Amino acid sequence: MIYNFLRVKFIYLLVLFSCKSFELEELDYPLLNTSKIKIMPLGDSITQGIHINSKNIGYRRDLYNLLKSNGYQIDLVGSMHDGSVSDFDKDHEGHGGYRADQIRDSVYYWLSLNPPDIILLHVGTNDISQKETAYNVSLEIDQILDQIDLFELDNDYRIKVIVAKIINHFDYQENVRALNNYISRNVEDRFKDGDYIFLADFYSSLNDKKYFLDNVHPNESGYKVMAETWASKI
């Protein structure tokens, strides 16, 4: 009888999960805060964090301190080291001026140097600035994700990837919206195929000029919003 009960319950749950429509933003599983988490901030100058009183800290310092205050043990990883203050881990993979194709061509190597538990990927702004089509940029971002998958396969390693719907670029708003629509669909498709991948919506949380230093880069308040948005997904 117990066997039959469990069998019926299993079938019920299987049907329930197969029919349920999931929002990617809500399907995140916070990591236990009992071990050190290696996080790789990956992207361009927005990840590097330029333009805040020349400190070059971006969202990374706020994110580091926010996660630590919540009890997490954090190790930011990457081959780059930026930040004129000493109260946080400065490692990252934010490469100023890089397009998605340039990150695609190097990401496997960067992962081999510093394998992370989590990747925070915000990329596409420079491509949009250089008038690349949203569709082509989305293909290159998908190829970045392919390279991450290949690294995982080659090394029997599992990485949680959080992909950004990128912040607005006020000179190319229509292209940014189009790119973010492609990103959302690509992440959803990969999630359904079993990838450990999630979406962080910066377009919605950071779509007001009061958060920007110029039409591209966040100001200090904007970077705080970015940190809070990333933290909500970790």
Angle (nearest 5°) at CA 113 between 232 and 156 = 75
How confident is the model over 90-119, as pLDDT tens digits?
899 999 999 999 999 999 999 999 999 999
> Taking the alpha carbons of 212, 90, 152, 73 in that order, is the dihedral positive or negative?
negative
| CA–CA distances in Å: residue 77 to residues 2, 33, 60, 139, 198 | 49, 18, 11, 26, 20
Domains held by the chain: number: 1
Report yes or no on 27 lying in a domain. Answer: no
Select from 27, 117, 122 the least CA-distant residue to 74.
117
pLDDT digits (tens, 9 = 90+) for 5-48: 334 333 333 433 344 333 444 444 345 444 799 999 999 999 98
Residue 233 confidence (pLDDT): 94
CA distances from 168 to 16, 26, 112, 146 (A): 37, 22, 31, 25
* pLDDT top residue among 28 and 203: 203
On whether residue 29 sits in a domain, the answer given is no
- CA angle 120/211/55 to nearest 5° reads 65
At residue 214, φ and ψ (nearest 5 deg) are: -135, -155
Contact 58, 50 (CB under 8 A): yes
State pLDDT tens for residues 135-182. 999 999 999 999 999 999 999 999 999 999 999 988 888 999 999 999
Domain housing 119 = 34-231
15 contacts: CB under 8 Å, gap ≥ 6? none
Asked whether residue 111 is domain-assigned, the answer is: yes
Report yes or no on 107 lying in a domain. yes
Q: Is residue 118 part of a domain?
A: yes
Q: In angstroms, rounded to a whole number, what is the distance separating the alpha carbons of residues 43 and 190? A: 20
What's the pTM? 0.84
pLDDT of residue 54: 52
Q: Which residue has the tokens 């399907």?
A: 27
Two tokens, residue 98: 């890089």
Q: Give exposure, 135-172, as e/b (b: 16+ Cβ within 10 Å).
A: eebbebbbbbbebbbebbeeeeeebbbbbbbbbbbeeb
Query: Is residue 155, in this structure, part of any structural domain at all?
Result: yes
Assigned domain for 1 exists: no
**pLDDT of res. 52:** 56
- Cα-based angle 99, 57, 95 (whole degrees, multiple of 5): 20
For position 206, which CATH number holds? 3.40.50.1110
